[in-house]
A and B are shown apart, each in its own frame.
Chain A
Amino acid sequence: MTEQVKPQASVLANLDEVRAMIKRHKLNDSIFAIIGLVALMIGLLTLLTLFVDLVMDGYPRFNLDFMSEFPSRRAGSAGLLSAWVGSLLVLSVTFISAVPMGVGAGIYLEEYAPKNWFSDLIEINVTNLAGVPSIIYGLLALGLFVYILGLGQSIITAGLTLGLLILPVVIVSTREAIRSIPVAIREAAYAVGATKWQVVSQHVVHYSFGGILTGVIIGMSRAIGETAPIITIGALTFIAFLPPSPVTSEPPFLNFDWLFSGFTVLPIQMFSWLSRPNPEFHINAAATGAIIIVVTLLMNGTAIWLRYNMRKKIKW
């Protein structure tokens, strides 16, 4: 009898210990979940408070006139026209310069580059560049684009500067996206006799396109809010006309004068309004801030949506 009770007691004691242990671990689980939730809420609520505050301050300006008027000394009739057109033109230069270069560099580094100390060095540098403060890019651009290349304080200078700024982001995210393609896919393609270029263009890039696009859009949404490098290269504060149109009525129908035009962008217009003595202008600044946040959210939202949809379509 006693022989039987003893092991049972020890099993029970053991069971209690195990239960206590499980309880402890469960507690740890929920503690971490709470910490994580609090951390998430701090970030989210800060953004939400900021956004609601901007919208409440800026709502008198949310109308079409605000988008279609030039800046003015009168806060009520001052608008964002030259700023949003400037932002759009600068971002198209950024897109056209950074995306082919960044995606190309990413594909090369991942698929073609020999693995030696030199490509390691490049890899370290690209990753480091992604963390360089944006003002440094502004100083580089001031010396290189504005003075040495003589491009002046123009849209092309600003676009190329922001292009350099987001280049590392595009390269790194392209590589991440390519790396997520299983080796088996490549091997299968090679097995049926595809050349390297066919493998890269028809499979690797195709399947990682959603990820690449996400990186591009995140880079672009970083570029839209950048102020420091644009101020450094000399964006204007008051500009009540639009750059020359890229499309003309006479042959050759294309005109690149706009690339060399002076400009302003949304965050600079906001900054300039914020430093005005008249508090009426602070309403304009708040409205501009809200618009920048909405545009950024829309861009990031599009990135998430595209990635989700493209992932869904791929069936391996």
Chain B
Amino acid sequence: MQSKFVMSMSVAAFVAAAFAAPVSHAAPEKIIKIDGSSTVYPITEAVAEEYQKSTKTKVTVGISGTGGGFKKFCRGETDISNASRPILQKEIDDCKANGVQFIELPIAFDALTVVINPKNEFAKTMSVADLKKMWEPAAQGKIKTWKQVNPAWPDQPLKLFGAGADSGTFDYFTEAIVGKAKSSRGDFTASEDDNVLVNGVAGDVNAIGYFGYAYYDENKDKLRAAAIVEKAGSPAVLPSRESIENGTYQPLGRPIFIYVNATAAAFKPHVKGFVDYYLTKSKPLIEEVKYVPLPQKDQDAVIKHWKELKPGTGFGGVAEVGVKVEDLLSRIK
């Protein structure tokens, strides 16, 4: 009797599993594997969702962070890697060691947004120099009040919220503000989950934090974006679609990328078809998920670059800040 019970239990599990999945086609399936940055994820997810409605190709998207995504990509495990910063030298070496060549495609812009509490009236604009003073490694344990950063600001404690050290956002912010990727003070509240940062800054008058524009856009009622002065004498610029597109929101406006395995691009028609779709049809999807599409001129240049299947990176393995998309593509020979 008891063995019957065990049997019926396992049979039940099997049958349930069997009915859960509809009968599929026997033909070998075309699956495109994508992994990488959580910043680029919403765009790729939207494109994958739409693309799968019109074709039989299957697309999977994971979130491992830009660095984690490149690790898998350079082992040849994925076809496409989402990246919120350019590929670094170490990752290029890894790819080379495994014979993986890649095609670098900028797909949209994001603006790293510096946010403060809406009740904070004194720091509506701040300069890159101010930000550097707050975030550089030398500030650790020393810069504790707003007044220490800028004498015009009140003598109130400074509460810092920032991206976790594995994210491309952290790499880019430190490169743009401090001048060296991954170089930051360590005594701040770090989280890979940007909603933690949103709540942190929304709940503390003395807080300041940074994350991608989409998180600010969804929480405008709880946060205030700071206008950024690039260098002494230049105007204070708020992050917005216009300022990102025309390149005045510097140095925190950044292009985001997908990297395509060059072998897959050349020999797997379904991968090629997906990237074609990505580059030509993604504009409304990018806007829908609150990112800024490339200007048409740049978009055309990227499509041309893709058609020629030119492998390589325009960055030479460093996370360079403020490069124009056109210049970038023309550097790849």
**A residues with CB within 8 A of B:** 70-73, 85, 88-89, 91-92, 95-96, 99, 205-206, 209, 234-250, 258, 262, 272, 274-279, 282
Contacts and interface: CB of A to CB of B under 8 A. Distances in A.
Given A248-B26, A274-B195, A237 B10 contact: no
19 contacts: A73-B289, A85-B20, A85-B21, A89-B20, A95-B9, A95-B10, A99-B10, A238-B48, A238-B49, A239-B61, A240-B49, A242-B24, A244-B24, A246-B14, A250-B26, A262-B31, A262-B60, A277-B290, A278-B218
A234 B212 CA distance: 25
A99 B13 CA distance: 13
A240 B53 CA distance: 10
Nearest to A240: B52
A274 B192 CA distance: 12
Contact of A262 (B2, B33, B219, B285): B33
Contact of B46 (A73, A246, A277): A73
A170 to B, nearest CB: 13
Residue picked from A92, A95, A242, A282, most chain B C-beta under 10 Å: A92
A248 B61 contact: no
Given A237-B41, A240-B52, A277 B61 contact: no
Interface in B1-43: 1-2, 5-6, 9-10, 13-14, 16-18, 20-24, 26, 29, 31, 33, 38, 41-42
B29 A276 contact: no
Contacts of B214: 277
A236 B2 contact: no
A111 B218 CA distance: 62
B98 to A, nearest CB: 14
B217 A73 contact: no
A73 B21 contact: no
A91 B10 CA distance: 11
A262 to B, nearest CB: 5
B315 interface: no
B143 interface: no
B22 A92 contact: no
B165 interface: no
B45 interface: yes
Given A96-B13, A237-B63, A73 B23 contact: no
Given A240-B49, A246-B14, A258-B17, 6 more contacts: A73-B46, A92-B14, A243-B21, A245-B23, A246-B17, A275-B194
A237 B36 CA distance: 11
A73 B218 contact: no
Q: Which A-B residue pairs are the 8 nearest by beta carbons?
A: A238-B61, A73-B46, A245-B21, A277-B215, A92-B13, A247-B18, A277-B218, A277-B214
A247 B26 CA distance: 11
B23 A234 contact: no
A310 to B, nearest CB: 9
Contacts of B24: 242, 244-245
Contacts of B6: 99
Contacts of A250: 26
Dominant secondary structure of chain A at its interface with chain B: loop
Contact of A244 (B21, B38, B41, B194): B21
Main secondary structure of the interface of B (DSSP, over half): helix
Give the residue among A234, A241, A247 with the most B Cβ atoms within 10 A: A241
Interface string B53-70: 000001111111000000
A216 B39 CA distance: 40
B45 A238 contact: yes
A21 B21 CA distance: 69
Given A96-B13, A248-B26, A258-B21, A73 B42 contact: yes
B38 A249 contact: no
B193 interface: yes
A274 B191 CA distance: 13
Contacts of A209: 2, 5
B170 to A, nearest CB: 16
Contacts of A95: 9-10, 13
B187 interface: no
A251 to B, nearest CB: 12
A235 B52 CA distance: 20
A164 B58 CA distance: 31
B288 interface: yes
Interface string B165-181: 00000000000000000
B62 A236 contact: yes
B322 to A, nearest CB: 25
Contacts of A85: 20-21
